[in-house]
Amino acid sequence: MGVATTEQWNGFYRRILIKDLRCGVSEKTVNNVAKKLKMDHYKVPVFECMLAHDSAKHQKKVSGKVCLDKKLDGVRVLTVVDCGMGTVVSQYTRNGKALQNFTKITQFLKNKALETEPEAMVLDGEIVSSSFQDLMKQVQRKSDVQADDAVLQLFDIIPLSEFKQGKSVLNQQKRHAMLKEYCKMFDGFDNIQVIDKVDCDLDSEAGQQQFKDFNKEAIDQGYEGIMIKDPEALYECKRSTAWLKQKPFIEVSLEVKHVEEGTGRNEGKLGAFVCEGVDDGKTINVNVGSGFSDTNRDEFWDSRSTILGQIVEVRADAITQNQDGTYSLRFPRFLRFRGFEIGEKI
């Protein structure tokens, strides 16, 4: 930094530090090339955990004997309990970003680990709180942290040594039994819980009904959806069809109140619709900036004066509540106009 020009620093060295080269290169690109050339010493260390695929894209995998659990509306957290060099409890996001705001949980784990001296473990789960917005505030807050009501909901466990190798020895069913046994020492501490799993045979008529009932129950109770897991599968630090997520979509009809111009590549084109409306008694205010093709962005921007007041159908993952008592949508996507005239809903 002391010898580089401002241009060199901002255009090259800084971009390396923030891991954003702005040229279509990521750590995955580098690692793929290093693997192909058999030059492992050039590989970039990457923090990876097991991730799920969308069940809608792998319907053939939704069959046979599976275990089901409810998909939580929280933040994925991997908690490392390492007794190797004094007991250290660290928490990370799925991308390896350190989390330091859930000290009530980490301190409890540290004290328990000191009592039992277990093998170093990675506890996989999600942190949930009273609301997703409140939780995200606590995750990012630098001071005045108020996360005592956060609950670590655990759904998997793997020894740290196996996690570093990228694959477990035990299958899903045995890991869950191991998790329940490990978590017996947390009895009475409400901030750590184990997510129950339900065994289901999707090749049977009874299993199909059980699957439908479980899915409906999860949605009715406010969960994001359900997880479908292969009981015989190993934990692998990558995206795998051994875990499938099944999430419902919601679709709401809202009025376009304002049309915003885009930025960057969308400058001079549509950026987002600012939408408002009432759905199921909830007043929703949301910016809808995805779901548009490049052609849509050109056409809708050129005709923006005629779009104000029109009704659009928006697809989203869930309704969320804002601080002012109004509501918004998580991951809203434009689907279509609901009519041809201002205020028309077909």
Task: Find the CATH number of the domain harbouring 328.
Answer: 2.40.50.140
- Where is the domain boundary, 219, 246, 273? 246
- Where is the domain boundary, 246, 280, 304? 246
Q: Tokens 């999430």 belong to which residue? A: 247
pLDDT in tens, 180-238: 999 988 888 899 999 999 999 999 999 999 999 999 899 888 888 899 999 999 999 99
Beta bridge partners of 171: 234
Domain that holds residue 161: 51-246
Per-residue confidence band for 95, with pLDDT thresholds at 50, 70 and 90: confident
Region 239-244 average pLDDT = 96
Q: Tokens 């695929």 belong to which residue? A: 53
> Would 342 be classed as within a structural domain?
no
Residues 6+ apart with CB under 8 A from 81: 87, 89, 109, 110, 113, 118, 120, 121, 122, 123
Contact 235, 175 (CB under 8 A): yes
- Where is the domain boundary, 214, 246, 278? 246
Contact 279, 314 (CB under 8 A): no
Q: Tell me which of 343 and 198 has the higher pLDDT.
A: 198
Query: Would the pTM count as exceeding 0.75?
Result: no
pLDDT in tens, 162-174: 999 999 999 999 9
Q: Residue 197 maps to which CATH number?
A: 3.30.470.30
109 and 256 in a single domain? The answer is no
71 and 19 in a single domain? The answer is no
Q: How many Å apart are CA 235 and CA 210, to the nearest integer? A: 25
Beta bridge partners of 138: none
Q: How many Å apart are CA 74 and CA 52, to the nearest integer? A: 15
pLDDT in tens, 32-47: 999 999 998 998 888 8
Per-residue confidence band for 85, with pLDDT thresholds at 50, 70 and 90: low
